[in-house]
Amino acid sequence: MKHPYRELIIAMTRTGILGFGGGPSVIPLIRHEAVSKFKWIDDDEFGEILAIANALPGPIATKMSAYLGHKVKGVPGAVVATAAHILPTCVAMAALFAAVNVLSHSKIVSGMIGAVTPVIAVMLGIMAYEFGQKALKGFGLLAGVLFFILAFLGLQVFSIHPGIIVILFLTYGAFHFKLKRKAAREKDKGVSAS
Amino acid sequence: MIIFYLFWAFFIANLLGYGGGPASIPLNFEEVVQHFHWLSKEEFSNMLALANALPGPIATKIAAYVGYSVLGWPGVFIALIATVLPSAIALVLLLKLIGRYRQSPVVKGMTLAVQPVIAVMMLILTWEIGGDAIRSIGMVQSLVIALISLAALTKFRVHPAFLIVAAFAYGGLVIPLL
């Protein structure tokens, strides 16, 4: 990392300007910069940040910018990363104060947003696939699929708040390896007894 | 006093806005329109349309706009601080705490257990945003753009930025003529 501040500014400005459609659409972009491009964190840590950011209130993208900035360069890094992420569009917003009516009904603007939406959908889909694969690798096929179904039921069918689902899964996760070890030991006992 | 109100309005709206920026929109409306009367209902919805047309997080765009209309550039600054700072500090502190115990099986288990939740959340978002795309530009165009994106991202490893700029060019130049 030769120019940590410059990297932070490049990455966070880019994601801020290209992330159309509010917080969630920017997640794959931030992942690309933080994990694939600049390698500030690995994918596991990214998943962890994302989950915990989801469990806390407030905008997602600014929480993630602040964390990445902090990770790279402490508090000043957090300030620089968040500012780089939000300032360009915030300034545009204040500057366009007068042009509100014209722009929000522009055909060109709505065409641009329309065309970029499927791209965002694909990026999110790819992320879903990759995190799904990781879950299957960690849990094994059976337990992995069971957890998918549980998460889906909670989030979509019963519309439980994502924050609560994340907290429930984290709580289970805290005991996962302990339970696994216990299960393995019992199996050993069963085998040696027979 | 207005400085304090401005801070308070955005602090509360984002603290209770659980589930990211879009979830805080109704709470912003409550504070900005109903409580403090900084904007009329119509101004708020026009502002929202503009905010949706620009990139970047929605909550900070709303804060910037309302802050500017109430108090000029200092207002932008105050509203942004109130929106961003509390949750950012909370996340950094919480993850620092977790990072200290990274090697423990407890934290490892937590990291693993959260993966299926993220996968499913992303899947649901994919479905919803795919639906938005179909509603806005139709099934055929959505599918063609989606397939091109999939190939570009997974096969050819194109930087997502290029793809987004290409989609903008297509959407801005071609779609209005169709």
Residue A107 has pLDDT above 90, yes or no: no
Distance from CA of A137 to the nearest CA of B (A): 10
Per the domain annotation, does B24 fall within a domain? yes
User: Residue A59: what pLDDT?
Assistant: 85
Q: What is the DSSP string of B85-143?
A: HHHHHHHHHHHHHHHHTTTSHHHHHHHHHHHHHHHHHHHHHHHHHHHHHHHHH-HHHHH
Distance from CA of B1 to the nearest CA of A (A): 22
> Once rounded to an integer, what is the mean pLDDT over residues B157-177?
85
> Once rounded to an integer, what is the mean pLDDT over residues B66-87?
92
Query: Are B64 and A91 an interchain contact pair (Cβ–Cβ within 8 Å)?
Result: yes
Whole-angstrom distance, CA of residue B117 vs CA of residue A47: 10
Query: Are B171 and A111 an interchain contact pair (Cβ–Cβ within 8 Å)?
Result: yes
Whole-angstrom distance, CA of residue A86 vs CA of residue A94: 12
> Once rounded to an integer, what is the mean pLDDT over residues A83-111?
80
Q: Which of A50, A96, A59 is nearest to B82 (CA)?
A: A59
* Residue A96 per-residue DSSP state: G
Average pLDDT score over chain A: 85
Per the domain annotation, does B8 fall within a domain? yes
Phi, psi of A112 (to 5 degrees): -65, -45
Q: Which two tokens stand for residue B165?
A: 């700029």
User: Rounded to the nearest 10 degrees, what angle do helices A43-55 and A107-139 cross at?
Assistant: 110
Phi, psi of A164 (to 5 degrees): -70, -40
Q: Which of B24, B129, B160 has its CB closest to that of A121?
A: B129
Residue B65 has pLDDT above 80, yes or no: yes
Per the domain annotation, does B79 fall within a domain? yes
Residue B52 has pLDDT above 90, yes or no: no
Domain span holding position B38: 2-104
Q: Which of A68, A50, A61, A75 is nearest to A9 (CA)?
A: A68
Residue B54 has pLDDT above 90, yes or no: no
Q: What total number of domains does chain B contain?
A: 1
The residue among B110, B141, B153, B157 with the most chain A CBs within 10 A of its CB, best to mutate, is: B110
Residues B83/A58, Cβ–Cβ less than 8 Å: yes
Domain ranges of chain A: 4-105
For A145-185, write each residue's pLDDT tens digit: 999 999 999 988 888 877 788 888 888 988 988 888 888 88
Per the domain annotation, does B89 fall within a domain? yes
For B112-143, write each residue's pLDDT tens digit: 888 888 888 889 888 988 888 899 889 999 99
CA angle A178, A179, A184 (to 5 degrees): 100
Residue A71 has pLDDT above 60, yes or no: yes
Q: Residue B141, exposed/middle/buried by CB under 10 A (0-12, 13-18, 19+)?
A: buried
Average pLDDT score over chain B: 86
Q: Which of B53, B68, B129 has its CB closest to that of A104?
A: B53
Q: Which residues of chain B neighbour A99 with C-beta distances below 8 Å?
A: 50
Q: Which of B171, B165, B130 is nearest to B147 (CA)?
A: B130
User: Residue A73: what pLDDT?
Assistant: 92
User: Residue B23: what pLDDT?
Assistant: 66
Per the domain annotation, does B56 fall within a domain? yes
* Residue A124 per-residue DSSP state: H
Percentage of residues in chain B having pLDDT higher than 70 = 96
> Once rounded to an integer, what is the mean pLDDT over residues B23-49?
83
Which runs of consecutive H residues, i.e. helices, occur in chain A? 4-18, 27-31, 43-55, 60-95, 100-104, 107-139, 141-152, 162-193
B25/B78: higher pLDDT: B78
Residue B20 has pLDDT above 70, yes or no: no
Per the domain annotation, does B174 fall within a domain? no
Contacts of A105 (CB under 8 A, 6+ apart): B49
Residue A134 has pLDDT above 90, yes or no: no
Whole-angstrom distance, CA of residue B153 vs CA of residue B20: 26
User: Residue A30: what pLDDT?
Assistant: 93
Whole-angstrom distance, CA of residue B168 vs CA of residue B73: 30
Residue A20 has pLDDT above 60, yes or no: yes
Percentage of residues in chain A having pLDDT higher than 90 = 34
Distance from CA of A128 to the nearest CA of B (A): 4
Instruction: Name the maximum alpha-carbon separation found in chain A.
Output: 82
Query: Are B118 and A47 an interchain contact pair (Cβ–Cβ within 8 Å)?
Result: yes
Rg (alpha carbons) of chain A, rounded to whole number:
21
Residue A16 has pLDDT above 60, yes or no: yes
Q: Which of A20, A42, A17 is nearest to A31 (CA)?
A: A42
Q: Which of B48, B109, B38, B138 is nearest to B78 (CA)?
A: B38
Q: Which of A26, A135, A170 has its CB closest to that of B110?
A: A170
> Once rounded to an integer, what is the mean pLDDT over residues A50-56?
82
User: Residue A67: what pLDDT?
Assistant: 94
Whole-angstrom distance, CA of residue B175 vs CA of residue B178: 5
> Once rounded to an integer, what is the mean pLDDT over residues A28-48?
91
Whole-angstrom distance, CA of residue B29 vs CA of residue B99: 37
ipTM greater than 0.85: no
Per the domain annotation, does B91 fall within a domain? yes
Per the domain annotation, does B42 fall within a domain? yes
Percentage of residues in chain A having pLDDT higher than 70 = 91
Whole-angstrom distance, CA of residue B30 vs CA of residue B110: 36
For A85-96, write each residue's pLDDT tens digit: 999 988 888 887
User: Residue B170: what pLDDT?
Assistant: 92
